[in-house]
Structure 1
């Protein structure tokens, strides 16, 4: 089983992504495809007069501030435009794709954060109206039934809380939770950078391999912006039984096939985790 997560930043080559998925699907490879949509969401939010706001936690992770209006824009873009466009592209390539959000069938479920702490002008503030959460349960049986029926799940945030509220969740960590639920062989997290860079934005400074016990140090010393959350998701995956995570580049040709060949930052379990 391979879980493929493709981000929503500028420059993503979605046609090349869909070409690779179609090739692997024809070869009999089981896949689940998870996607984002941040860049397009920002554009739509600006056009609708509700520009995006981002907050940073005391531990250094950046996330979208999600009120009810933002969540509705998020759903319109992620679950509507992007999800159905990707399903159409896959159907055109002969893949019987089914597009779903994490809300549908409670595919992704977890607790909503009642409060979050953010750093603003050097001070810590507490926010209580943010509709965000974390995926802690994956509806494995529903996804497995789709796969058994010959369908490719194409998944996107948001998720559903235990209280039945839609909530924004990080797509990389949702993909990691999905990979853990299936004990996937591979989790590929592809974006518009080639992986973790030792000297951002120099793409020639790629760090080619990291073990799980090195992630915290690498994240603090080298990771910029959203790469910190990608590393957090990678650590959650490999410590939950996923054999390998690759942080790769989705801008060029054959992005999935290149990631499967190890082009990017490869993250592997520590020796103790591999032995277990």
Structure 2
């Protein structure tokens, strides 16, 4: 009876989401723990087989850092952005495209679906420009630091993803972009997921992280639903801070760009994507206009 109740609770959501595009940003421990990643991919494949168009966008910052150190190169950051010279960009591409992206596509296949790996270079999917120099305070002085090959997104060209989705593939996107001169740029994966969701006209953006959602200032309670204006207030008073800021920024951008719902859920717990989408209570934070 309990199984029947669960299935019947999920039915109206499955009907509502059928044929819709769902963008899932894989982050947190899903990028370093294969079991956690496999749970997320199984959820994504279930969505795929009940009729949703699924796109996976992944990061890989910790693995890039690990690879840099193994090669004797010390990572440097400014305002949370990695300073990316020629060698660092080559390492980032090797890790993001050659290792992580390919690994996710393999896991999708292992679970019985067809995935295609892409970077922003493929079909000019993600067009960007160099961020350039950023101001940073060192001691009592303000300096300008060149971030190198770090990009900010100018445009998403979703045609290649649309083609894959129409032909029953799951798209897997690595956050490497291309500029107008054909040079690769490293971009923020949270930002990429939000922009891709907008460009595809997605119904939902789901951001997997290592916490249960947006929490109150005392870190004792999760906000189940937030409006965009409320997230701005929570950032202003410091309730939303540090690593949650780019995730909220991605969600806000998506919602303001026409995506009806953006979610932040804990990817470390099994099947939180399904519980967030197919139950009345949900398990994370849903952000709406």
Question: Same fold, TM exceeding 0.5?
Answer: yes
Could you tell me how far apart the structure 2 residues matched to 1:245 and 1:214 are? 14
Aligned to 2:68: 45
| Structure 2, unaligned runs of 5 or more | 1-20
> How far off its partner does 1:244 sit?
0.6
Aligned to 2:270: 253
* Number of aligned residue pairs: 262
> How far off its partner does 1:207 sit?
2.5
> How far off its partner does 1:63 sit?
1.8
Could you tell me how far apart the structure 2 residues matched to 1:232 and 1:151 are? 28
1:116 to 112, 118, 134: 134
> How far off its partner does 1:76 sit?
1.1
1:8 to 1:45, Cα distance in 2 relative to 1, 3 A = farther
Spell out, residue by residue over 1:129-148, the C-alpha distance to the aligned partner (whole angstroms, 9 max, x if none). 52111123112111111112
Could you tell me how far apart the structure 1 residues matched to 2:146 and 2:257 are? 31
Could you tell me how far apart the structure 1 residues matched to 2:184 and 2:138 are? 26
SS of match in other structure, 1:205: coil
Could you tell me how far apart the structure 1 residues matched to 2:231 and 2:24 are? 20
SS of match in other structure, 2:214: coil
Aligned to 2:234: 218
> How far off its partner does 1:156 sit?
1.0
Aligned to 1:74: 92
> How far off its partner does 1:11 sit?
5.3
Correspondence list, 1:85-100, <5 A? 85-100=103-118
Aligned to 2:40: 17
Could you tell me how far apart the structure 1 residues matched to 2:213 and 2:141 are? 31
1:150 to 162, 168, 191: 168
Structure 1 range deviating more: 120-129 or 92-101 = 120-129
> How far off its partner does 1:41 sit?
1.6
> How far off its partner does 1:122 sit?
5.3
- Contact 1:11 1:251 (8 Å CA) reproduced: no
- Contact 1:136 1:177 (8 Å CA) reproduced: no
Q: TM-score scaled to structure 1, two decimals?
A: 0.89
SS of match in other structure, 1:229: helix
SS of match in other structure, 2:38: helix
- Contact 1:158 1:168 (8 Å CA) reproduced: yes
Correspondence list, 1:1-276, <5 A? 1-9=21-29, 13-56=36-79, 62-121=80-139, 123-199=141-217, 202=219, 204-220=220-236, 221-260=238-277, 261=279, 262-269=282-289
SS of match in other structure, 1:118: strand
Q: TM-score scaled to structure 2, two decimals?
A: 0.85
| Structure 1, unaligned runs of 5 or more | 57-61, 270-276
- Contact 2:83 2:147 (8 Å CA) reproduced: no
SS of match in other structure, 2:153: coil
> How far off its partner does 1:218 sit?
1.3
Could you tell me how far apart the structure 1 residues matched to 2:233 and 2:161 are? 35
